[in-house]
């Protein structure tokens, strides 16, 4: 299961100054960061919220999957369910239009408890599935995810069944209405950036390195005295924490939650997002999520624009996914890296040709 | 069997005891006290039979799934799509020709050919790459689902039951007593009984084919040690193609059968896939007897759950899966190792 090779850059390094840190990020990083920060000045609120903020929320959930799959070699499909569970808990514990179920806790109590309980749920699912490997993990997590879906669908006393909850409003605090486009955009941006940073940090911390060791050779790690199972469960906990935070943002974004939020479709979509973006780097899921959201939003127009049936966007997503899986196991990031490699190599070739005065390519 | 009794005397005793109680529950006339405890006998019996026949359907789907996995380590997450495709195809053919058996045969053959194409065009190029195979089949299932939706729309279809299978049949169990002491006998749809018999026959035939024929011997050898089998000069690829075709064909066949006593609609592919996943997780991957045990357990759990605890029926199946995983992560019937 060659999802990602250990990145050579990811070795632990000595302490560095802030200047080095800024320089090492590269131009692309700063361009993207600047663009995201200044986005509200140039983009309409539709682009801000419907596209970028939504992509960042989905990207966070896919990021938690990427952390497990890329660094732990564990392909877990419960991450969307963890997010959905956190969303449900926010609706149940906090305020919603279904006042006979909601407990009306203040947001600063409801949201952390939701994140905590959902993380616990993710950890338990992990503890259940870490005894298995590879395909078995996929199947068991898929089974857990679908069990949760059917539970929310059929249970009316806690989850309000088919209709779910609506009227869940983002909180107002520090004098800011966080449900407004601009604050909400910056809230998701901050959360996504934090999640990204933490994943990058953890992947280079001793825990992350040990996790990558258990991915590459669990027997050797066990022989070295690492508790492989504990590392994997802890990886689930960490990933579920990110997914749960994203779930809270998701329910505030949608202002409603229903069984469909964490149904089998979205659960698989999350895997698609992570794989299409690329499982080898934390930025991959965000790229995948952006592509996915753009496709979902504009596929209808594009398909009808070229004279096809607009309802076939699912077919488009499926075909695109298949092509990427077949030809680039590393997703869009892999394609990008390969293109860059080729460009660099052709550049080198050109230079040597010039140096030697021509010759066959 | 006797081996199992010798190894697990306590478990055997419990199983024999449970089966005896079940038989007694089925054949005895229920007293009013028992009716108060378990509800009406008719309800209990129909849940029991529905569970067993649903298990027969799950067995047909899951045995193909588990066979493909056991031999080739291919996780075909498009198996549910093959089921739905077979079902829709059976519906079309049945409407066209008016014959249920022709529909069954055509579905089996066409879906088997689809399986061969999948094996030759896709799986052969990614042997041993579990994750990639999984992702590819997920992609395929999305494409299949949308193509079927395109062609058949979102309506619900039901395959017409043939005349010689329609109508109820009277079973030799009394459900209740009339006031004059005459027993009311249990009646049950003939088509479900036929499916059950068909699944049992097919299961026995598969067992015989696997255990008593040369091809079956090769398949079993391939399940145990694929590399060694290919090293002995057997044309492993041919066996792979055959098994894949047979497993896929079974899914298509099950689609027609499922369409006969349930219905076909978008989303059914996922539901069947998930059920067969749970079946093979419970029973043990790659084991035909495991698929049978798992299918029976899951079918019964679903039906009894929906009768006696409707809200948590799905959770019951799930709890069974968790319990099995906790005790035997490799499944009930799989060999340890």
pLDDT at A243: 93
Burial B43-76 (b: 16+ CB within 10 A, else e): ebbbbbbbbbbbbbbbbbbbbbbbbbbbbbbbbb
**Other beta carbons within 10 Å of A286:** 24
Residue found by looking up tokens 């094996």 in the block: B119
Q: Provide, as residue numbers in chain B, all residues whose Cβ is less than 8 Å from the Cβ of A325.
A: 132, 135-136, 139
Distance (Å, rounded) from C-alpha B142 to C-alpha B178?
54
Tokens of A92: 């149940």
Please determine, for residue A179, whether its predicted confidence score (pLDDT) is greater than 90.
no
- Chain B residue at shortest CA distance from A320: B139
- Chain B residue at shortest CA distance from A156: B311
Q: How far is A275 from chain B (nearest CA, A)?
A: 9
**Other beta carbons within 10 Å of B166:** 12
Nearest alpha carbon to residue B335 among B200, B208, B215, B224? B224
% of chain A exceeding 70 in pLDDT? 89
- DSSP character string of B179-214: TTSPEEEEEEEHHHHHHHHHHHHHHHHHHHHHHHSH
Residue found by looking up tokens 């680039």 in the block: A328
Give B168's strand partners.
Answer: B189
Taking a C-beta distance cutoff of 8 angstroms, is the pair A188, A57 a contact? yes
The answer to whether B140 contacts A322, with C-beta atoms less than 8 Å apart, is yes
Average pLDDT, chain A: 81
Mean pLDDT calculated for residue range A78-106: 86
Distance (Å, rounded) from C-alpha A12 to C-alpha A321?
35
Distance (Å, rounded) from C-alpha A168 to C-alpha A102?
10
User: Vertex B269, ends B266 and B273: CA angle to 5°?
Assistant: 155
Distance (Å, rounded) from C-alpha B139 to C-alpha B160?
32
Query: Which of A142, A146, A275 is opposite residue B135, by nearest beta carbon?
Result: A275
- Helix (H) / strand (E) element for B176: namely strand B168-177
Tokens of B60: 């047909």
The answer to whether A321 contacts B140, with C-beta atoms less than 8 Å apart, is no
Please determine, for residue A357, whether its predicted confidence score (pLDDT) is greater than 50.
no
Q: How far is CA A299 from CA A54, A265, B182, B284, in A?
A: 16, 18, 67, 42
Looking at chain B, the number of H-run helices and the number of E-run strands are 14, 2
Mean pLDDT calculated for residue range B78-107: 91
Report which listed range, A241-255, B26-40, B234-248, B259-273, is most confident: A241-255
The answer to whether B310 contacts A1, with C-beta atoms less than 8 Å apart, is no
- Helix (H) / strand (E) element for B169: namely strand B168-177
More confident residue, A244 or A138: A244
Return the minimum-mean-pLDDT range out of A68-72, A330-334, B1-5: B1-5
Main-chain dihedrals φ then ψ at residue B282, nearest 5 degrees = -65, -45
Taking a C-beta distance cutoff of 8 angstroms, is the pair B137, B75 a contact? yes
Taking a C-beta distance cutoff of 8 angstroms, is the pair A256, A164 a contact? yes
Structure confidence by residue, pLDDT tens digits, A280-329: 888 889 988 998 888 888 877 777 777 777 677 788 888 888 888 888 77
Mean pLDDT calculated for residue range A170-179: 75
Any idea what DSSP says for residue B264? Answer: B
- Chain A residue at shortest CA distance from B144: A315
Nearest alpha carbon to residue B62 among B221, B283, B222? B283
Q: Provide, as residue numbers in chain B, all residues whose Cβ is less than 8 Å from the Cβ of A312.
A: 146, 150
pLDDT at B188: 82
Average pLDDT, chain B: 83
pLDDT at B181: 67
A16 pLDDT band (50/70/90 cuts)?
A: low
3-state SS string for chain A:
CCCCCCCHHHCCCCCCCHHHHHHHCHHHHHHHHHHHHHHHHHCCHHHHHHHHHHHHHHHHHHHHHHHHHHHHCCCCCCHHHHHHHHHHHHHHHCCCCCCCCCCCCCHHHHHHHHHHHHHHHHHHHHHHHCCCCCHHHHHHHHHHHHHHHHHHHHCCCCCCHHHCEECCCCCEECCEECCCHHHHHHHHHHHHHHHHHHHHHHHHCHHHHHHHHHHHCHHHHHHCCCCHHHHHHHHHHHHHHHHHHHHHHHHHHHCEECHHHHCHHHHHHHHHHHHHHCCCCCHHHHHHHHHHHHHHHHHHHHHHHCCCCHHHHHHHHHHHHHHHHHHCCCHHHHHHHHHHHHHHHHHHHHHHHHHHCCCCC
How many Cβ pairs closer than 8 A exist between chain A and B? 105
Distance (Å, rounded) from C-alpha A214 to C-alpha A229?
9
Taking a C-beta distance cutoff of 8 angstroms, is the pair A85, A259 a contact? no
Taking a C-beta distance cutoff of 8 angstroms, is the pair B116, B244 a contact? yes
Distance (Å, rounded) from C-alpha A39 to C-alpha A33?
10
More confident residue, A308 or A224: A224
Q: How far is B306 from chain A (nearest CA, A)?
A: 11
Return the minimum-mean-pLDDT range out of A12-16, A20-24, A251-255, B17-21: A12-16
Taking the Cβ of residue B322 and every Cβ of chain A, the question of whether any pair is shorter than 8 Å is answered with: yes
Residues 6+ apart with CB under 8 A from A187: A178, A249
* ipTM at complex level: 0.76
The answer to whether B314 contacts A147, with C-beta atoms less than 8 Å apart, is yes
Query: Which of A128, A139, A329 is opposite residue B132, by nearest beta carbon?
Result: A329
Structure confidence by residue, pLDDT tens digits, A17-55: 666 666 666 777 778 787 777 777 777 777 777 888 899
B48 pLDDT band (50/70/90 cuts)?
A: confident
More confident residue, A45 or A261: A261
The answer to whether B140 contacts A155, with C-beta atoms less than 8 Å apart, is no
Taking a C-beta distance cutoff of 8 angstroms, is the pair A277, A271 a contact? no
Structure confidence by residue, pLDDT tens digits, A137-168: 888 888 888 888 888 888 787 888 788 888 78
Residue found by looking up tokens 């006031």 in the block: B179
Structure confidence by residue, pLDDT tens digits, B171-207: 777 666 666 767 777 778 888 888 889 899 988 898 8
pLDDT at A360: 41
The answer to whether B140 contacts A315, with C-beta atoms less than 8 Å apart, is no
Please determine, for residue B251, whether its predicted confidence score (pLDDT) is greater than 90.
yes
Kindly report the length of chain A.
361
The answer to whether A151 contacts B315, with C-beta atoms less than 8 Å apart, is yes
Mean pLDDT calculated for residue range B42-64: 88
Q: How far is A314 from chain B (nearest CA, A)?
A: 6
Q: Strand, coil or helix: what is B174?
A: strand
pLDDT at A248: 92
The answer to whether A135 contacts B318, with C-beta atoms less than 8 Å apart, is no
Tokens of A108: 């600063």
3-state SS string for B206-234:
HHHHHHHCHHHHHHHHHHHCHHHHHHCCC
Taking a C-beta distance cutoff of 8 angstroms, is the pair B254, B60 a contact? yes
Q: Provide, as residue numbers in chain A, all residues whose Cβ is less than 8 Å from the Cβ of B129.
A: 1-2
Please determine, for residue A354, whether its predicted confidence score (pLDDT) is greater than 60.
no
Q: Strand, coil or helix: what is B273?
A: helix
Taking the Cβ of residue B75 and every Cβ of chain A, the question of whether any pair is shorter than 8 Å is answered with: yes
A3 pLDDT band (50/70/90 cuts)?
A: very low
Q: How far is CA B164 from CA A97, B129, B161, B167, B192, in A?
A: 54, 47, 8, 8, 13
Mean pLDDT calculated for residue range B140-155: 88
pLDDT at A341: 83
pLDDT at A8: 43
Query: Which of B134, B138, B314 is opposite residue A135, by nearest beta carbon?
Result: B134
A353 pLDDT band (50/70/90 cuts)?
A: low
Q: How far is B62 from chain A (nearest CA, A)?
A: 14
Query: Which of B138, B140, B313 is opposite residue A271, by nearest beta carbon?
Result: B138
Q: How far is A75 from chain B (nearest CA, A)?
A: 8
Name the packing angle between helices B79-97 and B268-283 (round to 10°): 130
Taking the Cβ of residue B313 and every Cβ of chain A, the question of whether any pair is shorter than 8 Å is answered with: yes
- Chain B residue at shortest CA distance from A144: B318
Q: Strand, coil or helix: what is B173?
A: strand
Q: Provide, as residue numbers in chain A, all residues whose Cβ is less than 8 Å from the Cβ of B131.
A: 1, 3, 75, 134
pLDDT at A61: 93
pLDDT at A19: 66
- Helix (H) / strand (E) element for B175: namely strand B168-177
Structure confidence by residue, pLDDT tens digits, B289-323: 889 999 999 999 988 888 887 777 777 888 888 78
pLDDT at B337: 41
């Amino acid at each position: 299961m060659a999802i990602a090779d250990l990145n050579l850059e990811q070795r632990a390094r000595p302490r560095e100054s802030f200047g080095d840190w800024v320089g090492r990020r590269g131009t692309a990083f700063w361009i993207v960061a600047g663009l995201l920060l200044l986005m509200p000045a140039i983009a309409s609120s539709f682009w801000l919220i419907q596209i970028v903020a939504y992509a960042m929320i989905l990207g966070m959930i896919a990021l938690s999957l990427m952390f497990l799959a890329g660094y732990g070699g564990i392909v877990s499909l419960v991450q969307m369910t963890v997010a959905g569970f956190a969303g449900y808990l926010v609706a149940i514990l906090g305020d919603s239009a279904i006042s006979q179920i909601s407990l009306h806790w203040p947001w600063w109590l409801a949201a952390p408890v939701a994140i905590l309980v959902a993380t616990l749920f993710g950890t338990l699912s992990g503890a259940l599935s870490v005894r298995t490997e590879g395909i078995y993990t996929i199947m068991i997590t898929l089974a857990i995810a679908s069990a949760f879906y059917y539970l929310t669908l059929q249970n009316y006393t806690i989850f309000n069944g088919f209709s779910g909850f609506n009227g869940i409003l983002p909180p107002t605090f520090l004098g800011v209405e966080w449900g407004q486009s601009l604050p909400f955009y910056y809230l998701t941006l901050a959360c996504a950036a934090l999640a990204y940073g933490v994943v990058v940090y953890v992947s280079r911390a001793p825990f992350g390195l040990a996790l990558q060791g258990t991915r590459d050779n669990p027997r050797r790690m066990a022989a070295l005295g690492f508790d492989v199972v504990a590392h994997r469960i802890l990886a689930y906990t960490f990933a579920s924490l990110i997914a749960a935070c994203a779930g809270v943002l998701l329910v505030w974004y949608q202002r409603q939650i229903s069984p469909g939020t964490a149904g089998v479709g979205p659960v698989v979509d999350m895997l698609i997002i992570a794989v299409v973006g690329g499982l080898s780097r934390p930025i991959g899921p965000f790229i995948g999520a952006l592509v996915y959201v753009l496709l979902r939003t504009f596929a209808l127009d594009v398909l009808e624009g070229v004279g096809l049936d607009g309802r076939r966007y699912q077919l488009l997503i499926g075909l695109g996914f298949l092509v990427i899986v077949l030809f680039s196991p590393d997703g869009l990031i892999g394609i990008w890296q390969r293109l860059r490699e080729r460009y660099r190599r052709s550049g080198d070739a050109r230079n040597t040709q010039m140096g030697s005065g021509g010759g066959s390519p | 069997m006797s081996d199992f009794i010798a190894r697990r005397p306590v478990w055997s005793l419990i199983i024999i005891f449970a089966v005896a109680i079940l038989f007694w529950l089925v054949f005895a006339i229920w007293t009013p006290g028992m009716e108060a405890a378990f509800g009406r006998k008719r309800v209990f019996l129909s849940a029991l039979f529905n569970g067993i026949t649903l298990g027969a359907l799950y067995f047909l789907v899951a045995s193909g799934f588990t066979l493909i996995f056991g031999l080739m380590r291919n996780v075909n997450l498009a198996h549910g799509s093959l089921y739905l495709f077979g079902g829709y195809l059976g519906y079309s053919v049945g409407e066209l020709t008016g014959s249920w058996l022709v529909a069954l045969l055509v579905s089996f053959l066409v879906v088997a050919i689809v399986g061969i194409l999948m094996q030759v065009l896709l799986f052969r190029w990614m042997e041993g790459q579990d994750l990639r195979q999984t992702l590819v089949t997920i992609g395929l299932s999305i494409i299949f689902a949308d193509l079927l939706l395109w062609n058949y729309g979102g309506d619900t279809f039901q395959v017409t039951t043939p005349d010689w299978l329609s109508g109820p049949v009277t079973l030799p169990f009394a459900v209740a007593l009339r006031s004059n002491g005459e027993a009311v006998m249990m009646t049950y749809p003939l088509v479900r009984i036929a499916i059950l018999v068909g699944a049992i026959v097919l299961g026995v035939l598969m067992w015989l084919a696997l255990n008593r024929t040369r091809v079956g011997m090769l398949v079993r050898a391939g399940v145990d040690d694929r590399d060694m089998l290919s090293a002995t000069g057997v044309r492993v690829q041919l066996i792979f193609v055959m098994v894949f075709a047979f497993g896929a064909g079974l899914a298509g066949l099950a689609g027609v059968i499922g369409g006969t006593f349930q219905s076909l609609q978008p989303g059914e592919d996922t539901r069947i896939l998930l059920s067969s996943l749970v079946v093979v997780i419970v029973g043990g991957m790659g084991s035909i007897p495991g698929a049978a045990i798992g299918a029976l357990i899951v079918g019964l759990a679903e039906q009894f759950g929906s009768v006696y605890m409707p809200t948590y029926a799905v959770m019951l199946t799930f709890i069974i899966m968790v319990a099995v995983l906790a005790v035997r992560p490799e499944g009930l019937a799989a060999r340890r190792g």
